[in-house]
A and B are shown apart, each in its own frame.
Chain A
């Protein structure tokens, strides 16, 4: 082999670019190696998360006697072991959708408030206050939700049942405290407000001033300025902000685990207590899980991982594409 290298290198070395790129200083090479290495380390980390989770998940699913996707039960300790993610998938998606429906319009409103309505001197402190919502740890949202919000929502639940019960969704067929998917959705909405707000706000602030001033010059009211120049410009930004929020809501653990009273039933009556989400199920079942039980939970975690990966990836792609076309970042 030693005989091959000296023959091989001289013709292969592309002479012009090499001296221009580096003067051969050792420090530069080491530093480049270190920083590039940590970048590669991150990619490896992501890959190994996928590989390790898939491996353990495959172990669990191969022992599952039920269908992993359609079984309405979680009993990996049973004989035969039966578990499936149908209820968890349903609960995760429903609670996140409720959160989105509540949070996105409000977040857009707050973002508009900070970018276009608030007195200029107040805008920065107000933005900071909204960011503080993001700094509160989720477990504190959890106990606040369970010990404070749940009793306070009783009245609202009665209302919804009374006035909107005919929609089926808001019909409350079981009595019991409001430890329901709906309450979880409200709590998740509060938790994802800051991220949706801050991303939307950034986009709204990037609207070319010319567009807004043109609209104002034509005699538009403030709302017409927003409708004609701000919202069309910010639409894709708001969409990706909402998807980032969705990603948060899907994976939220502690707030759901403290508030929800879980059950393995699928019910479209979102006010009824019961249901479950991936993360909540992992938190609740982990303590008593045996070896197979843990692998089963890892399998459900893998589904959650893929779900959040898709949602976040899509959101980032939308943001990235927007950057290229808008010219706002030029």
Chain B
């Protein structure tokens, strides 16, 4: 039905000539995809509510399939086979993009909606001391402290190591060793977080160490170093060679050139990389679960005794499985997501602001 509509409407529209499409026999107007989308969404909603499907996922899928089918059919009818294939690809690509946006939107919507119910000043400043898991009340203060300390220690260890490794790869690295380091840094990026946790666990078992925040930090370090190396390397490569040569030509030793010229030029990008790495490890649950154990009380000492952390707290509350604990889990998830997203936004802001000026 829609096909005839559009083909009839296509003649009076005067826009096509501007496109140079007058040479072609017939073509759909530029607003056609929007019309197809509107029609297919309406049909999807109509069919969905008529058939009484509970799940909006089905509504969306039907609309998406209808959109692709209608676009294809209409273009075949009005234009030709090649244009129809082009239209098919275009609509599929659009559908793919929307498919990716939907879960992100839904996830953020749910987390903000559910999390805001419990999140308040009390929640942020109290621990779970004396609160039954199934009862409302309590907060994330102990988990916040744990996360900040563990992530802080991990950053202090891995930022220098990562930075130095990147300097080695970019400024000195030639030959077999550099190639091996590059390859294994890449492979290390893919180590599952739980394996990093198990590695530290096996050391703990052999050395007879007790779980503590520090152990968790060490596992996070393994996850963080490759990310820092990779991003720092990219940034150092962006530093124009003329700067290095100018400095060396003045007789300045290489190490001072690196410290005073190369790194300051790239510092914005390096900071961004480190912050993105922090954002990544701040959400890691698995190593914390194996190595830090989790506590209900405030333990500000990361070197001794069990601690908690935000992602672990979410897991713990989820496992209790009562309404009150689900509420706490969502609220903590909101805190964590805000923390991570802020880091991301600030990091990218710094990257844009301090981007090395290559060329003019």
Name A's B-contacting residues (CB within 8 A): 23, 25, 27-28, 30-32, 34-43, 45-46, 48-49, 52-53, 55-56, 105-110, 112-114, 117-118, 126, 128-130, 132-133, 135-144, 146-148, 152-156, 159, 190, 193, 197, 221-224, 226, 244, 247-248, 250-254, 257-258, 279, 282-283, 286, 291, 294-295, 297-298, 301, 304-305, 308-309, 311-313, 316, 320
A298 to B312, CA, bound (A): 20
Q: Does chain A have a CB within 8 A of B100?
A: yes
Partner of B340, one of A109, A112, A135, A312: A135
Apart from A38-B164, A144-B110: 15 A-B pairs, beta carbons within 8 A:
A30-B255, A35-B168, A35-B172, A37-B164, A39-B178, A42-B161, A42-B181, A56-B205, A106-B99, A109-B96, A130-B100, A139-B311, A140-B283, A253-B286, A313-B187
Task: Kindly provide the distance from the CB of A119 to the nearest chain B CB, expressed in whole angstroms.
Answer: 12
Q: Does chain A have a CB within 8 A of B46?
A: no
Q: In the complex, what residues of B have CB within 8 A of residue A117's CB? A: 90, 93-94
User: Given A35-B165, A56-B205, A133-B104, are A143 and B333 neighbors across the interface (CB < 8 Å)?
Assistant: yes
User: Given A27-B255, A152-B55, A156-B55, are A53 and B199 neighbors across the interface (CB < 8 Å)?
Assistant: yes
Top 9 closest pairs, chain A to chain B, by CB: A137-B283, A251-B192, A109-B96, A312-B190, A155-B55, A35-B168, A31-B255, A221-B86, A223-B89
A52 to B205, CA, bound (A): 10
A258 to B256, CA, bound (A): 51
Q: In the complex, what residues of B have CB within 8 A of residue A313's CB? A: 183, 187
Residue in A closest to B287 when the chains form the complex, CB atoms: A253
Q: Does chain A have a CB within 8 A of B246?
A: no
Q: Does chain A have a CB within 8 A of B195?
A: yes
Asked if B344 and A27 make an inter-chain contact with CB atoms under 8 angstroms apart, the answer reads: no
Asked if B184 and A113 make an inter-chain contact with CB atoms under 8 angstroms apart, the answer reads: no
Q: In the complex, what residues of B have CB within 8 A of residue A41's CB? A: 161, 165
Bits for B172-208, please: 1 = Cβ < 8 Å to A, else 0.
Answer: 1100011011011111111111111011011101100
User: Which residues between 216 and 239 of chain B lie within 8 Å of chain A, taking CB atoms?
Assistant: 222, 225-226, 229
Asked if B90 and A312 make an inter-chain contact with CB atoms under 8 angstroms apart, the answer reads: no
30 A-B pairs in the complex with CB atoms less than 8 angstroms apart: A27-B253, A27-B256, A31-B259, A37-B164, A38-B161, A38-B168, A42-B161, A42-B226, A46-B184, A107-B96, A113-B94, A129-B101, A135-B344, A136-B283, A137-B285, A137-B336, A138-B283, A139-B311, A142-B315, A143-B329, A144-B106, A144-B111, A148-B110, A153-B57, A221-B85, A253-B194, A254-B286, A258-B318, A304-B192, A308-B190
Task: Kindly provide the distance from the CB of A252 to the nearest chain B CB, expressed in whole angstroms.
Answer: 7
Q: Does chain A have a CB within 8 A of B103?
A: yes
Asked if A137 and B86 make an inter-chain contact with CB atoms under 8 angstroms apart, the answer reads: no
Residue in A closest to B315 when the chains form the complex, CB atoms: A139
Asked if B100 and A55 make an inter-chain contact with CB atoms under 8 angstroms apart, the answer reads: no
User: Given A140-B337, A312-B187, are A39 and B311 neighbors across the interface (CB < 8 Å)?
Assistant: no
A42 to B221, CA, bound (A): 11
Asked if B172 and A155 make an inter-chain contact with CB atoms under 8 angstroms apart, the answer reads: no
Q: In the complex, what residues of A have CB within 8 A of residue B160's CB? A: 38
Q: In the complex, what residues of B have CB within 8 A of residue A140's CB? A: 107, 111, 283, 314, 333, 336-337
User: Given A28-B253, A34-B164, A109-B92, are A56 and B284 neighbors across the interface (CB < 8 Å)?
Assistant: no
Asked if A247 and B190 make an inter-chain contact with CB atoms under 8 angstroms apart, the answer reads: yes
Q: Does chain A have a CB within 8 A of B66?
A: no
Name B's A-contacting residues (CB within 8 A): 53-58, 61, 82-83, 85-86, 88-90, 92-97, 99-101, 103-104, 106-107, 110-111, 160-162, 164-165, 167-169, 171-173, 177-178, 180-181, 183-196, 198-199, 201-203, 205-206, 222, 225-226, 229, 253-256, 258-259, 279-280, 282-286, 289-290, 311, 314-315, 318, 326, 329-330, 333, 336-337, 340-341, 344, 348
Asked if B86 and A139 make an inter-chain contact with CB atoms under 8 angstroms apart, the answer reads: no
Partner of A309, one of B162, B187, B290, B330: B187
Q: In the complex, what residues of A have CB within 8 A of residue B100's CB? A: 106, 110, 130, 133, 190, 193, 197
Asked if B201 and A305 make an inter-chain contact with CB atoms under 8 angstroms apart, the answer reads: no
Residue in B closest to A291 when the chains form the complex, CB atoms: B205
Task: Kindly provide the distance from the CB of B316 to the nearest chain A CB, expressed in whole angstroms.
Answer: 10
A190 to B178, CA, bound (A): 35
Q: In the complex, what residues of B have CB within 8 A of residue A112's CB? A: 93
Q: In the complex, what residues of B have CB within 8 A of residue A40's CB? A: 177, 181
Q: In the complex, what residues of B have CB within 8 A of residue A298's CB? A: 198, 201-202
Asked if B253 and A137 make an inter-chain contact with CB atoms under 8 angstroms apart, the answer reads: no
Asked if B187 and A316 make an inter-chain contact with CB atoms under 8 angstroms apart, the answer reads: yes
Task: Kindly provide the distance from the CB of B40 to the nearest chain A CB, expressed in whole angstroms.
Answer: 17
Q: In the complex, what residues of A have CB within 8 A of residue B85's CB? A: 221, 223-224
Partner of B96, one of A38, A110, A223: A110
Task: Kindly provide the distance from the CB of B178 to the nearest chain A CB, expressed in whole angstroms.
Answer: 7
Residue in B closest to A146 when the chains form the complex, CB atoms: B318
Q: In the complex, what residues of A have CB within 8 A of residue B336's CB? A: 137, 139-140
Task: Kindly provide the distance from the CB of A238 to the nearest chain B CB, expressed in whole angstroms.
Answer: 14
